[in-house]
Amino acid sequence: MTHLILDIGNTRTKVAVMKEGDIVEQCTCPDIMQLNLRSLCTRHSVDKAIASVVGPMPDFRALLPCDVMKKFHLLSHTSRMPIKIDYATPETLGMDRVAAVVGAREQCPGSPLMVVDAGSCITIDLLDDNDCYRGGAILPGLQMRFKAMHHYTAALPEVELTAEELSGETLTPIVGRSTRESLVAGVCNAALFEIQGFAEEYRRQYPDIKLFLTGGNADFFAKRLFFPNFALPSLMLIGLDKLLELNV
């Protein structure tokens, strides 16, 4: 079976074609309307599709072939899940968070999991060893922090991290020696220390917990955290593929 996986986030859309659990084609773009999904489905003989959507809902009937639309699933809190959801307001829970946790469980059965999605926002989610999703935390992402400091002050510039700074190959200085360096030191190290703090606290409760990182800035944090972790950009796609199998 060949599946079309759509992860429509705050700032970008990830599209993948998966066959028997393997990604055979993948792309990322700012707007799903830029993609010819009908052609993609025809080229790969897609059988069914799933979407996780954050924000405005696209018109999937206009985007997908009729035969695929008949086996299309829009992920929601009412979808069938391979995990239990212990969340006070499941209707407000971002399905991207659930998909990432399900993807992590597919990679690592049995252990408690902390799943960090480092994107526009940084989400931290906890799955216990009984496959019960316990909730987590939502933090501002790196660029959101830079934008906020620029917007709410008169003199601070808006910083854009370079590809080299985001790669994780060079360490962020703890002491900035210019205004830009001070902003980078503050934003990047604060976010790092926050994730590290959550990881250490979760580890007190679950000593054998495993940490998974995903999202656009996963590599940045993976190479800096003082905690064993697994960085897997395709984590959410793996989770969505599993959820599609359960629901269609």
What is the reported pTM? Answer: 0.93
Q: Do 53 and 156 reside in the same domain of the chain?
A: no
The answer as to whether 248 is a domain residue is no
Please name which of 147, 143, 178, 144 lies closest in space to residue 162, comparing C-alpha atoms: 143
Catalytic residue from among 22, 67, 86, 96: 96
Rg of the chain, C-alpha, whole Å: 19
What residue type is assigned to position 48 of the chain? K
- The answer for residues whose C-beta is within 8 angstroms of residue 193's C-beta and 6 or more apart is none
Instruction: Look up the domain containing 35 and give its range.
Output: 1-74
Identify whether 96 is a catalytic site residue: yes
Whether residues 170 and 55 fall in one domain: no
Residues 54 and 101 in one domain: no
Domain boundary among 74, 91, 110: 74
Q: Are both 83 and 59 inside the same structural domain? A: no
Q: Using CA atoms, how far apart are residues 203 and 217, in angstroms rounded to an integer?
A: 23
Q: What is the pLDDT along the chain (248 residues), one digit of tens a residue?
A: 999 999 998 888 999 999 999 999 999 988 888 889 999 999 999 999 999 999 889 999 999 999 999 999 999 999 999 999 999 999 999 999 999 999 999 999 999 999 999 999 999 999 999 999 999 999 999 999 999 999 999 999 999 999 888 886 777 889 999 999 999 999 999 999 999 999 999 999 999 999 999 998 998 898 888 887 899 989 999 999 999 999 99
What pLDDT is attached to residue 235? 94
Model pLDDT, residue 168: 67
Domain boundary among 46, 74, 102: 74
pLDDT at 12: 87
Query: At 28, which CATH number?
Result: 3.30.420.40
pLDDT of residue 185: 95
Q: Give the total number of structural domains in the chain.
A: 2
User: Can you tell me the distance from the alpha carbon of 218 to that of 100, in angstroms, rounded to the nearest whole number?
Assistant: 13
Residue 210 included in any domain: yes
Q: How far apart are the first and last CA of the chain?
A: 12
